[in-house]
Copies of this chain bind each other. A is one copy, B any other.
Amino acid sequence: MQKLVEGIHQFQTTSFSQQQKLFETLAEGQHPLALFITCSDSRIDPNQLTQTKPGELFILRTAGNIVPPYGSVFAGEAATIEYAVTALNIRDIIVCGHSHCGAMGGLLKPEAVESMPAVKSYLKYAESTRRIVEENYKHLTDPAKRLTLTVEENVLVQLESLRTHPSVAAALSRKELKLHGWVYKFETGEVFTYDPSKNEFVGLGEATNLLAEESRSLPPI
């Protein structure tokens, strides 16, 4: 804790003063650019990664960047998503997985989470991920590649789940919201984005289309 307290002291005496104006303005309200859903993992810093300042990213973080489908539980995920879309009028949601994810590791190796009932229970919302990997990639035995694939598939599965949230479904159908699927490989600094036209994750610069996919609702009459 001492290190954190000292860090705060350092923040107050240096960075804060450089951004004091910004912070004072932000007291009047926030207008973030996006909702960023990512893992609780300590190695991920969404603001550092995107070089964003306070006020720019609304951030939901839980172990494994998992989004339970709507109606399954009314916990933080549903409330945070609804608040972002309805109260803050967010136009972009990014679901960002990452390399070396411990939650995804636990999904592939259930015995590793046997002693953690809440984790085990939460991972049922990634059961689609587990089955996609298990059933479709039997021949992929290299553990590192298998984990990478799991992280990628999980981003797509959680995007599906995100669509079941009414605030998201309604905004998608108004074409006022876009969904994005990313994977951050922190050890190289690379970010990959799902490109639906190629049906694969590509380097962020190479994507021909930044959307996870098009809206499937009927057009306004």
Contacts and interface: CB of A to CB of B under 8 A. Distances in A.
Interface of A: 1, 3-5, 7-12, 15-16, 20, 23-24, 26-27, 29-30, 32-35, 40-45, 47-52, 54-64, 66, 68-84, 86-87, 92, 94, 99-100, 102-103, 115-119, 121-125, 127-128, 130-132, 134-137, 139-140, 149, 152-153, 156-157, 160-161, 163-167, 169-170, 173-174, 178, 180, 186-191, 196, 199-201, 204-205, 210, 212-213, 215-221
Q: Most chain-B Cβ atoms within 10 A of its Cβ — which of A56, A66, A68, A100?
A: A68
A85 to B, nearest CB: 9
Given A41-B58, A55-B43, A187-B24, A216 B213 contact: yes
Contacts of A3: 33, 52, 56
30 contacts: A1-B34, A3-B56, A5-B204, A7-B51, A9-B205, A11-B50, A23-B43, A27-B99, A42-B55, A48-B54, A61-B80, A62-B79, A66-B76, A68-B75, A69-B71, A70-B118, A72-B72, A75-B77, A76-B76, A78-B122, A82-B117, A83-B102, A118-B165, A127-B166, A131-B166, A131-B170, A132-B173, A140-B221, A149-B218, A153-B173
B42 A57 contact: yes
Q: Is the interface of A mostly helix, strand, loop or mixed?
A: mixed
Given A122-B78, A131-B170, A170-B132, A4 B218 contact: no
A152 B1 CA distance: 20
Contact of A121 (B79, B136, B218, B219): B79
B119 A79 contact: yes
A60 B41 CA distance: 9
Nearest to A20: B189
Given A23-B189, A54-B43, A83-B116, A74 B121 contact: yes
B72 A27 contact: no
The 9 closest A-B pairs by CB, nearest first: A62-B76, A69-B69, A75-B75, A79-B122, A7-B51, A128-B169, A16-B189, A32-B42, A78-B118
